[in-house]
Chains A and B, each alone.
Chain A
């Protein structure tokens, strides 16, 4: 396969391929983080996760239109405003959903699955009624669409770097919040032992609502970022949901570190296999490997030992 190429060509291809793998890794982490928080910390399987992401994408679309119509001079910076708005909108909707629906279902995990699936259908149809069934095109500032040329033959997509930096930032922020802040400590306390956490004065209901809203908010930011690499339509969220669940379940539902490790494993396996064989075949092999590993290790890669409430 490589006989005809010079060493320099091969080096640049491997460098770009290495970057492709890392960029897939950050995409996986970004889309799985919100789900992992909700699933891992609350045991709620949020089937509408993809739709919360697309909410972020639509918010980005609206903000980009707003900027190009009213503030064209600031267009190149609109994306940061859009991500903030996406976070706020998705988190607010998450809060509402938690208060109205999810909190009545905490003792019935299977019902949350059905309820959030129904919610995903409602959200899809709402997008279709509001924005139309066709995909919308989110126009991006020119600087985000180019590529960097460290050497003549290596091209590194800027949007890939952007997603990486964003993922790193959000992961660190979540880590800091979970392990260094008081409210993160409250969340971990509720996960480990709900009655005891309540007994020492933690408002567990408020913690639940906050956690769910945070997970949804992160999904919104992810959706906003993905307008750079993917489509924005009423059902686009469905494109991400399978991979997202795969990453979370494979990583071990209750561990954020597991989510990151699993995203790394899956993305590296997939992107290197994609390079040597066809896309569909590499997907088949990735899924097969995951099924076998989960059969041998049903709790996923990392599992925290914890007391169940």
Chain B
């Protein structure tokens, strides 16, 4: 079921130096022998060649949009994404920009309100003529802006893990779709913990419901059983009844997709009710290091999370990323899965622009499939033709200090499959 990831193409050492436009190549050939990035910026191609549709690209700058909620209830979650995108843009600029142009970010506030997201995305595309937008967090906000991006032909880099069931030529999904987070996680818990019975729990909206549907299908395909499945309204703060039901059913695994403020209530009450997570296996796909700050590490220690990224990942890319992130945003800040995915957005866009040799949206769309990023903090990623990323699934064990310890990662990259046959 897990598709093998094709080996990385050897002829493309780094995306930054890949030249496809002959015009660019001629100009650059003046500087034969010099492969320095500074040389590239001197040889920036003329704006009329690389921007034929009137985007906000000048000889020295290119404008992009950042569209997240910095006010309202979603600001809790989206703050990390804004920080990651700003960091990536700053780093790209420090390394010479994109096609010799410095990125200028225009930030708009979606204010946790979906019509506002649509309105602001229209403003970014129509008035500001930005070359790309990095933004949105909830599926509801993405669904609200999608028609705008398709009508005015913009490019959206969307960072959140989500339920799948969508594929737009105007969106690059840098987070996981549901199967990439769920299947390997359940396989792991079955193999490692000998789990036979599952209790599915979620907040009541599209992502947890779709995800649990996939989880249930997968569990049943493995010949195991789901002993309970329940949803609570967003913002629900009283979980004592469901905790009693869990005690009655005694599942091997609690599979929890609770989000937002409810998360804090759920884990605190679980602990208070005497359910010890080092004895009762709990697997979640909704709690990143960001959420643990609110929950408190001591209240969730022992739980497992299936993600593609944890701040504790031990590789050089990630160490550099964590260091830069903390230098820019403070030593106490934590980095969750979505924050890392948001960080990939500007880099993937830069790679696509350079591969296309143009800022034109249609050329970026065409160039995006098969773009790879070897510098990603999560490791190697690659864009699939369906505009999602190939990425690994990892299992983390929550520690009392609020970090995860990585206990497992899939050997191969998981193929993104936003419309999984047999799971609908």
Contact = CB atoms under 8 A, between A and B. Distances in A.
A70 interface: no
A157 interface: yes
Contacts of A111: none
A279 interface: yes
A240 B262 CA distance: 11
A137 B238 CA distance: 18
B294 interface: yes
Nearest to A281: B231
Given A238-B73, A280-B232, A136 B294 contact: yes
Given A229-B265, A280-B232, A137 B295 contact: yes
Given A13-B247, A137-B296, A231-B294, A27 B238 contact: yes
Interface string B251-273: 00000000011111100110111
B272 A280 contact: no
B6 interface: no
A145 B272 contact: yes
B73 A146 contact: no
Contacts of B271: 145
> What does DSSP make chain B's interface, helix, strand, loop or mixed?
helix
Nearest to B229: A278
Contacts of A13: 244, 247-248
B274 interface: yes
A75 B153 CA distance: 57
B194 interface: no
A232 B299 CA distance: 15
Contacts of B299: 145
Contact of A23 (B236, B240, B245, B298): B240
B261 A228 contact: no
B233 A5 contact: no
Interface string A197-217: 000000000000000000000
Contacts of B232: 279-280
Contact of B244 (A134, A137, A275): A275
Contact of A128 (B75, B265, B295, B298): B75
B237 A230 contact: yes
B70 interface: yes
Given A17-B244, A240-B237, A133 B70 contact: yes
A68 interface: no
Interface residues of A, number: 51
Given A137-B295, A158-B272, A238-B73, A5 B241 contact: no
B124 to A, nearest CB: 21
B79 interface: yes
Interface string B67-89: 00011110110111000000000
B237 A275 contact: no
A28 to B, nearest CB: 9
Contacts of A139: 296, 298
Given A231-B261, A278-B230, A239 B274 contact: no
Contacts of B265: 229-231
Contacts of B262: 231
Interface string B180-197: 000000000000000000
Contacts of A65: none
**Those 3 A-B pairs whose CB atoms lie nearest each other, nearest first:** A135-B294, A231-B264, A20-B240
9 contacts: A16-B240, A132-B79, A134-B293, A139-B296, A230-B264, A232-B264, A239-B235, A279-B242, A283-B233
Interface of A: 5, 9, 13, 16-17, 19-20, 23-24, 27, 125, 128, 132-140, 145-147, 149, 155, 157-160, 226, 228-236, 238-240, 270-271, 274-275, 278-280, 283
Interface of B: 70-73, 75-76, 78-80, 204, 230-233, 235-238, 240-245, 247-248, 260-265, 268-269, 271-274, 290-299, 402
Given A125-B71, A128-B71, A145-B268, 10 more contacts: A13-B247, A13-B248, A20-B238, A128-B75, A135-B76, A157-B240, A231-B237, A231-B265, A271-B240, A279-B233
